[in-house]
Structure 1
Amino acid sequence: MGKEKLGSGRFQKDEMLEVEITDIGNDGEGIGKVDGYALFIKDAVIGDRVRAKIMKSKKNYAYAHLEEVLEPSPFRQQARCPIARQCGGCQIQNMTYERQLKFKQDKVRNNIVRIGGFDGEYVDSIMEPIMGMDDPWRYRNKAQYPIGADREGNPVAGFYAGRTHSIIPVSDCRIGVVENEMILEIVLEHMRQFHVSAYNEGTGHGLVRHVLIRKGFESGQIMVCLVINYGKRNPNSGRDFGKGREYIPGQERLIEKLEKVPGMTSISVSINNENTNVIMGTEIHTLWGEPVIRDTLNGLEFEISPLSFYQVNPAQTKKLYGQAIKYADLSGKETVWDLYCGIGTITLSMAKTAGHVYGVEIIPEAIEDAKENAKRNGIENATFMCGKAEVVLPEFYEKAAGGDASDKDALHPDVIVVDPPRKGCDSKCLETMLKMQPERIVYVSCDSATLARDLRILCDGGYKLKAVRPCDMFPWSGHVESCVRLERVSNRKADSYVKLNVKMEEYYRIKDAEGGEADG
């Protein structure tokens, strides 16, 4: 069907094709080919035979919409969530969990081979099985619900549809905690009763933008933070009541309802008046209870504020961090650097079996949380620095190399741990890591494509890839975390510094050639 279009290398929009799904894309979409022309089809499962409509056609590939499953795959299942196809959160809920784990294991392996240029047989020999979940539901300890209005003007909460800012109403997300539904119902009912407006991205008017909910899985403590567009555009805002300020009409009544939710510990507002996709504002006001909640991870107690970075899947975080500690191979004497340290979860976990640990993080509030978490847990062998890893690390190295540093051991640490954002490590950070020549590097990654790129750079600089283990931190999505161990095998300083940017450019070239978007 439609083969007459193949001469130009593309199909026409709205053209219908029948295709067998033989592969899986980076985000879990099904991939099929018609005479060598690739179709990327969201919601199609490997092994399906489907009818699909061309939505966007390129020279060598096209994006298509799944119209009908003609022959279902043995790996296809009924999605538990009724709006899984519309919602952008769970891309592969219609694929069996066992097949998801294989997809994610293969994704990490193939990116390391293809983008990193490592030998496939060698990678297979050092790669450990993915760490999956026994029960991959209700695992998220954090949810951020956008608030909008339906056609009748009634407030709604939910999640954005994939690649849009259209809100799909969600009453109960199956990967979130059960308390979320109760809290959202209280907030929405209060907005209806007191005529509280939802924020409108188009006009910039309206009060309530998002509802943030966090829960400590060990402590049971719950936090609610309402993100509001507070100020000149909202005539009801700014009225004083009692000892506080009324940020939301009927605020006292809302607090009375929310504080009855079992485990409620903290109720606050975050002021965000900017026209931006950033959810949280930096100005936080506690309305009731504590400014933070507490939770326990790896035997350590952490305070979590509305702005704190804290892994959203506690059960898998224990496994992932446990693997990182295992790969660090600490005996109690080592000097360790933890770059992109957040509130110090990995740093403080390693401090228990290291000589001294250094944590670096760009967010000032996270560094303050990390310092307080160290005090709370009686850890005295941890030093935290605020700034970009690619700035702090080179500055420290230059001072230490010039004799201007109190701790010379930090100049050549035993272990460097990195847990960067999706864009991976900055080239300056990688260059300084190679200059510091740690015995071991432990790389925790949330994007296996940028991980592969950085591994190639580090191995060209004198390291050998020794172990890789994926971890399914986000079941039902296409994302996968990884933990990698590298060991120094050469005393030479990397002769590839000048090649760092070249390799990063090559990564983006590969991603572009595959028809995917380069993360970060």
Structure 2
Amino acid sequence: MFEKGQKCQIRIEDMSHEGQGIGRADGLTVFVPGAVIGDLVTVELTKVKKRFAFSRLLSVDEASSYRIEPLCAAVGCGGCGLGNLDYQRQLELKEKQVRDKLTRLGGLEDPVVRPIVGMEEPFRYRNKAQFPISTGGIITRKGGIVENLGEPAVGFYKVKSHEVVNCIDCMLQSEAAMAAADALRRFMAEDNITAWDERWEKGLLRHLIVKTAFGTGEVMVILVINGKGIPNGQKLVEMLDEAIYEAGFSLESVVLNIKKDKTSRIMGEECITLAGKPTILEQVGKMSFEISPQSFYQVNPVQMKVLYDQALEYAGLTGTENVLDLYCGVGTIGLYCAERAGTVVGIESVKNAVLDANRNAVINGIVNARFVCGRAEEELPRLLAEGDSDDVIADCVQNADVAILDPPRAGCDPRLLEAVADVGVKRIVYVSCDPATLARDVKVLAGLGYEFVEAAPVDMFPWTVSVETVCLLSQKNLTM
């Protein structure tokens, strides 16, 4: 009988979807953070249940051939859940994860899953960096003078906490993002700028967000603040401009985002352009996309093209089909497909993203795409029942052939899946960043008359436990 605090030696036989090693001790399944498949480790049990236990890694007694040196020295940031695992093994693990979830949660027997597509150079791939900011807290001196308790830290949250781990460099982020973080750190130290303190709900700077357009070299810096402005802001703009230029990029936009509430959302509603343009321009293949501060955009532009090419293949477009692009963001997938479609209608709940999508259609000379603002699970049933004043939108919804679903990690609202089935599309192309919710929704769609055809994993997030998957479903009894 095992107890909390007990030590044991186990061989790691598998890894969980969260990147923990999995081994067995006399039939008890033990989860070991920091261990990789093939390791022989000594652990201390921290929580013991009837059939499984959680543990703390004490030592690696025999290192696996798949174990590598950690990707970076930012200990505890939690960003690289697979940072000590060989990249080829990461790909194998993610492909297995997709297959396992479709089998166990989706109820599929031996699902067809294509070999995962990895990256040749899986570094510096993120075009969006989101850094929390801290100074270790603040204190109010006599006379109402507010001072920082520690040095400025711009980095990432420590695992399962809101403690900011200062990150000088991250191999996942662009050089422009790391240059901006360094410039902000120096500015805060020189000008005694405070950071947000959750305990007292005071302090100015909350988050630094950096968007990098790899195709054009343009960079947007977003400063999320608890206030209306930044003291000596022009100095900060100049420091950011110089640092980003030296990194080989061009600072084109500096935006203040005002967030004074206590919600868990990173950004507030109000954006103020401090310097430059309110948007930046990105190029993917022959297409251009305008990116605004609050709009969603895939974080890996290299793999984004792989992902979209796969979605286009699964859509099976011949030039006449009506396509629904649901949870469309700034319209990238729908616009990518528009050249081969009859009409594209996108639905997105974020107003600024819809504005971006319409601008992106104009930028690319696309005239057969329309975008609607609203929750997809509410707007699609409404459009299906009531139609629309725009006959193009009404006809596309009433006679849609293909639905592209690109929901957030939580997956699709059941109401949306029911509405898609009510429309009667012949094909569903489901783009997912979570195999578990994908499998759940595949099972729901099976009950609504759609059968799974195949899935294609794409490694959008090397060194992390996340994997993107494109899945094709078709109406039952439909010849593909």
TM-score norm. by structure 1 comes to: 0.86
Aligned to 1:204: 201
Read off the aligned partner of 1:182 and give its amino acid letter: A
Q: Does 1:88 align with 2:88?
A: no
> For 2:227, what is the secondary structure of its paired residue?
coil
Is 1:104 the counterpart of 2:94 in the alignment? yes
CA distance in 1, matches of 2:118, 2:204: 40
Q: Please say if residues 340 and 418 of structure 1, whose CA atoms lie closer than 8 Å, have aligned partners that are also in contact.
A: yes
Range with greater deviation from structure 2 (46-55 or 468-477): 46-55
Which residue is equivalent to 1:333? 320
How many angstroms does 1:391 deviate by?
Answer: 0.5
Q: 1:146 aligns with which of 105, 121, 132?
A: 132
Q: Does 1:74 align with 2:65?
A: yes
Question: For 1:334-355, what per-residue CA distance to the aligned partner results, in whole angstroms no more than 9, with x for missing partners?
Answer: 0000100000000101111100
Q: Indicate the larger mover: 181-190 or 191-200.
A: 181-190
CA distance in 1 between counterparts of 2:414 and 2:164 reads 38
Structure 1 stretches of at least 4 aligned residues deviating more than 4 Å after TM superposition:
none
Question: What residue is the counterpart of 2:335 in the other structure?
Answer: 348
The equivalent residue for 1:252 is 234
Q: CA deviation at 1:60?
A: 2.5
What secondary structure sits across from 1:467 in the alignment?
A: strand
Change (3 A) 1:438 1:93: same
* C-alpha deviation, 1:304, in angstroms: 0.7
Partner of residue 478, structure 1? 465
Alignment deviations for residues 285-324 of structure 1 (CA, whole Å, 9 cap, x no partner) = 1111111110012422111111111111000101001100
Once superposed, what is the RMSD of the aligned Cα atoms? 1.7
Query: How far apart, CA to CA, are the structure 2 residues paired with 1:141 and 1:74?
Result: 32
Letter in 1 for 2:324: W
Q: 2:211 aligns with which of 204, 210, 214?
A: 214
Counterpart of 2:9 in structure 1 is 18
1:194 equivalenced with 2:191 (yes/no): yes
Is 1:46 matched with 2:37? Answer: yes
Instruction: Kindly indicate whether the alpha-carbon contact (under 8 Å) linking 2:347 and 2:373 is maintained by their aligned counterparts in 1.
Output: yes
Structure 2 length as normaliser, TM-score? 0.93
Decide whether the 8 Å contact of 1:462 with 1:490 is kept in 2.
Answer: no
Query: 2:144: which partner in 1?
Result: none
1:35 and 2:23 aligned: no
> Within 2, Cα distance between the matches of 1:378 and 1:488?
33
User: Compared with structure 1, are the counterparts of its residues 211 and 372 closer, same or farther at alpha carbon in structure 2 (3 Å cutoff)?
Assistant: same
Q: CA 1:406 to 1:17, structure 2 compared with 1: closer, same or farther past 3 Å?
A: closer
**Residue 494 of structure 1 aligns with which residue?**
none
Match of 1:115 in 2: 105
1:281-360 equivalent positions in 2, closer than 5 A: 281-360=268-347
For residues 375 and 274 of structure 1, the distance between their equivalents in structure 2, rounded to whole angstroms, comes to: 36
Q: SS where residue 353 of structure 1 aligns?
A: coil
Q: Offset of 1:407 from its aligned partner?
A: 3.6
- Give, in whole Å, the separation in 1 of the partners of 2:422 and 2:477: 12
The letter for the 2-side match of 1:293 is: I
How many Å apart are 1:420 and its aligned residue?
Answer: 0.7
Question: Displacement, 1:429?
Answer: 0.8
Structural mapping, 1:165-184, within 5 Å: 165-184=162-181
Q: Secondary structure at the match of 1:171?
A: coil
CA 153–160 in structure 1, closer or farther in 2 if over 3 Å, else same: same
* CA distance in 1: counterparts of 2:223 and 2:32, whole angstroms: 36
Q: CA deviation at 1:258?
A: 1.9
Local SS of the residue matching 1:56: strand
Quote how far apart the aligned CAs of 1:405 are.
Answer: 8.7
Q: Distance in 2 between matches of 1:310 and 1:154?
A: 33
Could you tell which deviates more after superposition, 455-464 or 207-216?
455-464
Unmatched 5+ residue regions in structure 1?
232-246, 492-520
Distance in 2 (CA, whole Å) between partners of 1:59 and 1:203 is 42
Tell me what 2:142 maps to: none
Question: Is the 2:295–2:350 contact (alpha carbons within 8 Å) kept by the matching residues of 1?
Answer: no
SS at match of 1:69: strand
1:489 corresponds to 2:476 = yes
* 1:238 equivalent in structure 2: none
Structure 1 residue 188, shift from structure 2 partner: 1.4
Show CA shifts across 1:431-483 (max 9, x none): 11111111111011111111111112222322222221101110011110100
Q: Distance in 2 between matches of 1:259 and 1:80?
A: 28
Q: Shift of residue 150 of structure 1?
A: 4.0
- Residue 400 of structure 1: CA displacement? 4.5
**Unpaired segments of 5 or more residues in structure 2?**
138-148
My pick for the range that moved more, 367-376 or 55-64, is 55-64
Match of 2:123? 137
Contact 2:370–2:393 (8 Å) recurs in 1: no
Give matches, 1:269-284, under 5 Å: 269-284=256-271
Post-superposition Cα deviations, 1:369-418, rounded to whole Å, max 9, x if no partner, equal: 111111111111111111111101111111249xx997435313110110
Tell me if the contact between 2:428 and 2:472 (Cα under 8 Å) persists in the aligned partners.
yes
Q: Equivalent residue of 1:259, what SS?
A: helix
In structure 1, distance between residues paired with 2:232 and 2:295: 28
Contact map agreement 2:345 2:396 (CA 8 A) in 1: no
Amino acid at match of 1:136: P
CA contact (8 A) 2:325 2:404 kept: yes
Worse-superposed segment, 164-173 or 31-40: 31-40
**2: CA distance, partners of 1:80 / 1:422:** 26
Q: 1:453 aligns with which of 431, 440, 443?
A: 440
Map of 2:141 onto structure 1: none
Where 2:81 maps in the other structure, the secondary structure is: coil
Kept in 2, the 8 Å contact 1:399–1:405? The answer is no
Letter in 2 for 1:275: K
Q: Percent identity?
A: 41
Aligned residue number for residue 230 of structure 1 = 227
| 1:463/1:490 contact within 8 Å kept | no
CA gap of 1:29–1:96, structure 2 versus 1, over 3 A, is same
Q: Is the 8 A contact 2:127 2:212 kept in 1?
A: yes
